Structure 1
């Protein structure tokens, strides 16, 4: 019997949700699946995880949440990284020496940017591979170890660099995570998600509103300019996006999540660091690289940076 070991690092809402979904899935009879949740604490500790599923059914279980220095990490076949974009680089630097030489890394976070530096770093690890993922599933953490599955969404995974994910592990993930699919053009999918984030997150955080308010006429010109700038920068990065399709997608998400408070709104409200550098900031950085003007995204970057500066004081 083949044993596959999957680790999920980052015990936030999405990390705990992905852990629940994979750990409760049923592998093939010829396979055994060991799924472990890893926190950013140094040592391993038992925790009671509480989970409210999409049908409001509650369950709980005691699991050993591994610390980043746990020897079990060296046995993982794949590790799914579910932390904030600004935490990825430092975390990977700490983890890499402890991972198996052929461990596959999957990044699952908002925004873009960390994949570029990580792919460069992994050139020194020729047996490793890097995949990228994005999810529109909803999860809410009501306490540190209690999360609720609040929205059914799609999860997309695709190869980025190095050794490709083994087919059995790919099959396990696609079966375990609801509405998951493999996407050969993963950067195109991530850019579409980035356009949505650029159009919604900073505006809701700045105007302090729910997503649905952005459907009002007063925001139309701003949203249109944000999308146009994203498409121009994507094209310079050899990713083709269509204006009408992106426009429709942004407003579809605004409608579907009309009552939601965006993650950036919540970060500002709770006085936490945001991921603006990896959302609007990524567009600004790539725009500067290609000498493309991105005025609307730069305004959003400066607005959120200003709000963050008020928090830090």
Structure 2
């Protein structure tokens, strides 16, 4: 049994806490009340108590050392969250990132020692919080973990076995490729669903086809420049498959915009825009969507 600290109690953080607590000692770092019970619900069934401890930052000093630190905050929150947690990392431990978009890996690799393994966890598991303390599990999906530094790459299969309580979890020796594949799905779904305030499945309507193709064409051009094995037809197939499987769901970015929260747009379209400048590749469609989401967020 491992001692796991989950940093962030959003929907994915609570879903992972629910599953991992079946086999491990799980604590969840939260800024909300630590005394309120959190619940997991699936398919409108009766809610179950999430069997994890919810703690505040000032409680970490008095707790035993953790084996695994799992960051489920949004991409733009990772650096500040890690800065707060770094002093509590043991000499030997594992750090796992899980968020939409790209970024953060290279920065954190420089912050860890050779005995601290860094991993990235991608997941297609879907859920949302119906209130601050209840997470609704709305869709199953594969989760994949892979190493991002030398120790992580060496121990990817071991880490996957340790976290096997996560449904449909597998290890990968090429997590960067899979992260980019997930980015393509995010580009096709999250910003457009947020911009038009629609559910994922509605993006399959014909009026969105052209913009989705243009957005993903730009992203595939970036992938080619980075020597990644990505094709437009596969990117479109994956995106429309996720739209179908999560047809009745609202994306996380739609929820962020609807609730006037900061979004992960910089780690999604913003990443493509930045990489376009770096590789001298034009990305007008991602640039425009980046600007529109930023304007929509600042206008509400």
TM surpasses 0.5: yes
**Match for residue 183 of structure 1?**
172
Pick closer, same or farther for the CA change 1:166–1:297 going to 2, 3 Å.
Answer: closer
| Cα offsets for 1:81-109 (capped at 9, x unmatched) | 00011110001011111211222110011
- 1:36 to 2:24 alignment: no
Select between 57-66 and 110-119 the one with higher mean Cα deviation: 57-66
- 1:109 to 2:109 alignment: no
Pick closer, same or farther for the CA change 1:23–1:310 going to 2, 3 Å.
Answer: same
Offset, 1:245: 1.1
Offset, 1:73: 6.0
Secondary structure of 2:38's aligned partner? strand
| Cα offsets for 1:90-133 (capped at 9, x unmatched) | 010111112112221100111111112212332xx222121011
**Match for residue 297 of structure 2?**
308
Secondary structure of 2:173's aligned partner? coil
Secondary structure of 1:147's aligned partner? strand
Secondary structure of 1:83's aligned partner? coil
**Residue of 9, 12, 26 corresponding to 2:10:** 12
User: What pairs up with 1:206-217 in 2 under 5 angstroms?
Assistant: 206-217=195-206
Secondary structure of 1:178's aligned partner? coil
| Cα offsets for 1:53-87 (capped at 9, x unmatched) | 35713222675312223126661111110001111
Equivalent pairs, count: 297
Secondary structure of 1:48's aligned partner? coil
Task: Give me the whole-angstrom Cα distance separating, in 2, the residues matched to 1:198 and 1:20.
Answer: 28
TM-score by length of 1: 0.89
**Match for residue 130 of structure 1?**
118
Offset, 1:251: 1.3
User: What pairs up with 1:162-241 in 2 under 5 angstroms?
Assistant: 162-164=150-152, 165=155, 168-173=158-163, 175-241=164-230
Task: Give me the whole-angstrom Cα distance separating, in 2, the residues matched to 1:66 and 1:59.
Answer: 19
Offset, 1:279: 0.5
Secondary structure of 1:52's aligned partner? strand
When the two chains are superposed, the root-mean-square deviation of aligned CA atoms in Å is 1.9
Select between 273-282 and 236-245 the one with higher mean Cα deviation: 236-245
Task: Give me the whole-angstrom Cα distance separating, in 2, the residues matched to 1:195 and 1:59.
Answer: 34
Task: Give me the whole-angstrom Cα distance separating, in 1, the residues matched to 2:145 and 2:63.
Answer: 22
**Match for residue 64 of structure 1?**
53
Task: Give me the whole-angstrom Cα distance separating, in 1, the residues matched to 2:254 and 2:70.
Answer: 25
Task: Give me the whole-angstrom Cα distance separating, in 1, the residues matched to 2:52 and 2:64.
Answer: 19
| 8 A contact 2:147–2:156 mirrored in 1 | no
Task: Give me the whole-angstrom Cα distance separating, in 2, the residues matched to 1:257 and 1:168.
Answer: 31
Pick closer, same or farther for the CA change 1:106–1:216 going to 2, 3 Å.
Answer: same
Pick closer, same or farther for the CA change 1:57–1:243 going to 2, 3 Å.
Answer: same
Task: Give me the whole-angstrom Cα distance separating, in 1, the residues matched to 2:63 and 2:232.
Answer: 44
Pick closer, same or farther for the CA change 1:264–1:172 going to 2, 3 Å.
Answer: same
| Cα offsets for 1:148-193 (capped at 9, x unmatched) | 21111111110011422476543121x2011111111111111111
| 8 A contact 1:51–1:146 mirrored in 2 | yes
Pick closer, same or farther for the CA change 1:160–1:61 going to 2, 3 Å.
Answer: closer
